[in-house]
Structure 1
Amino acid sequence: MHTVLLIEDNPLVSTMIQLKLEEAGFKVKCCSDGREGLASLTAEMPDIVLTNIMLPYISGLEILRAVKKIKKKDIPIILLSSLKQESVVEEAFKLGADDYITKPFQMAEIVECVNRLISKAQITYSNG
């Protein structure tokens, strides 16, 4: 079972995503702020990270930077945001984001994106 680290400060959004991903067969670890998310990332090494950009304490872009510094494992990261400014999206991809999903979104879009990136990562691991 693949583990998703979900970092989202809105409890309703977090619960909805968690339920949908668990329904799709993922184990989901939820964190409500950037500090908690960063601590969980270093403690548990998830298969994929799904984070909001605007978080208390540490932003999603800082989480992205931390994920990309991990050398033991190439962890895909998806950013969620209501920010649609081109400069923010460009910065996210320059920093190494694997995908950027704008709010509001469809739950099916989240599940499809997580499945796609997990499959891609497994191919990379087996060829690496």
Structure 2
Amino acid sequence: MSEVKKVLLAEDNSVLSLLLKFKLEKEGYQLFIAVNGKEAIEIVEAHSPDIILTDIMMPFVSGLEVISHVRYKLEIQTPIIVFSSAGQEEMVIKAFNLGATDFMSKPFSPNELSIRIKRLMR
């Protein structure tokens, strides 16, 4: 049997977090949820997730700072999918320049997210 894949979800919208938690746990992932970027960094350091899902705009530490910390301080190449509301093209470009692997514009389909996660964890 293969080992359970660990997913970090950094999202400050509790409704979206619950929806994704239900969807991803149903698919067999072990989910870690952070409500801000500071918690996200702590979870990355403590649990080494197999994939990171992060909103760009979060309290305390932004998703961009999470990406930067993972790529440059920890030097980890874990896939990172970034979420952002429409109209934040500049932030999305920054996210890719910092090392984001993929991007999804909010609102998005949980099914599409699931497909992207599977593709990146092959």
Same fold (TM over 0.5): yes
Say if 1:84 and 1:102, in contact at 8 Å, map to a contact too.
Answer: no
| Structure with greater helix share of residues | 1
What is the aligned length?
Answer: 118
The answer to whether the aligner puts 1:62 opposite 2:40 as a matched pair is no
Distance of 1:87 and 1:33 partners within structure 2: 21
Q: How does 1:106-117 map to 2 (within 5 A)?
A: 106-117=109-120
The Cα offsets for residues 63-121 of structure 1, whole Å up to 9 and x where unpaired, read as: 011111223x42110001104333222111111110010101011011011111111xx
The answer to whether the aligner puts 1:28 opposite 2:60 as a matched pair is no
Residue aligned with 2:82, SS = strand
Query: Percent identity at matched positions?
Result: 40
Q: List runs of 5+ in structure 2 lacking aligned partners.
A: none
Extract structure 1 runs of 4+ deviating beyond 6 A.
none
Distance change in 2, residues 1:15/1:67 (3 Å): same
Q: List runs of 5+ in structure 1 lacking aligned partners.
A: 120-128
Distance of 1:56 and 1:87 partners within structure 2: 19
Cα RMSD of the aligned pairs, angstroms, is 1.2
TM-score, scaled relative to structure 1: 0.87
Residue aligned with 2:121, SS = helix
Give 1:46's aligned residue.
49
- 1:89 is aligned, of 92, 103, 114, to 92
Give 1:12's aligned residue.
15
